[in-house]
């Protein structure tokens, strides 16, 4: 998936604004001016939605990382050490082989 380039977005919007202004001066190009205005509005709306999704994704990644760290350090790590203390070496080895965990 390709990211939306903010600079490229601003450049195309700027070009469309200039074209819209030029076409607005000539009644023969009023349809072109309308099309340029619509494209500007559509691009700006799509870019704003994209930015909102990025903020939501950033929040979701942070939330996941926090949960992952809690699970890894505060639960899995702690419980593995506890199991290592309470199981025989052979039982702990069997646990590691079965579940793929190691210390």
Distance CA 21, CA 85 (A): 76
Domain assignment present for 43: yes
- pLDDT tens digits along 6-56: 999 999 999 999 999 999 999 899 999 999 999 999 999 999 999 999 999
Domain assignment present for 78: yes
Domain assignment present for 29: yes
Structurally, the chain folds into a number of domains equal to 1
pTM confidence score = 0.70
Domain assignment present for 1: no
- pLDDT tens digits along 79-100: 888 888 888 888 888 878 887 7
- Chain center to CA of 13: 23
- pLDDT tens digits along 57-85: 999 999 999 999 999 888 888 888 888 88
Domain assignment present for 94: yes
Residue 102 dihedral angles phi and psi, to the nearest 5°: -150, 155
Domain that holds residue 13: 6-99
Domain assignment present for 47: yes
């Amino acid at each position: 998936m390709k990211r939306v380039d903010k600079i490229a977005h601003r450049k195309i919007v700027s070009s469309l604004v200039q074209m819209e202004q030029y076409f607005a001066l000539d009644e023969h190009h009023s349809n072109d001016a309308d099309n340029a205005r619509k494209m500007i509005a559509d691009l700006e709306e799509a870019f704003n939605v994209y930015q909102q999704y990025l903020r939501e994704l950033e929040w979701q990644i942070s939330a996941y990382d926090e949960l992952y760290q809690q699970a890894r350090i505060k639960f899995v790590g702690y419980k593995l050490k506890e199991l290592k203390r309470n199981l025989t070496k052979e039982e702990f080895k069997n646990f590691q082989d079965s579940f793929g965990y190691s210390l």
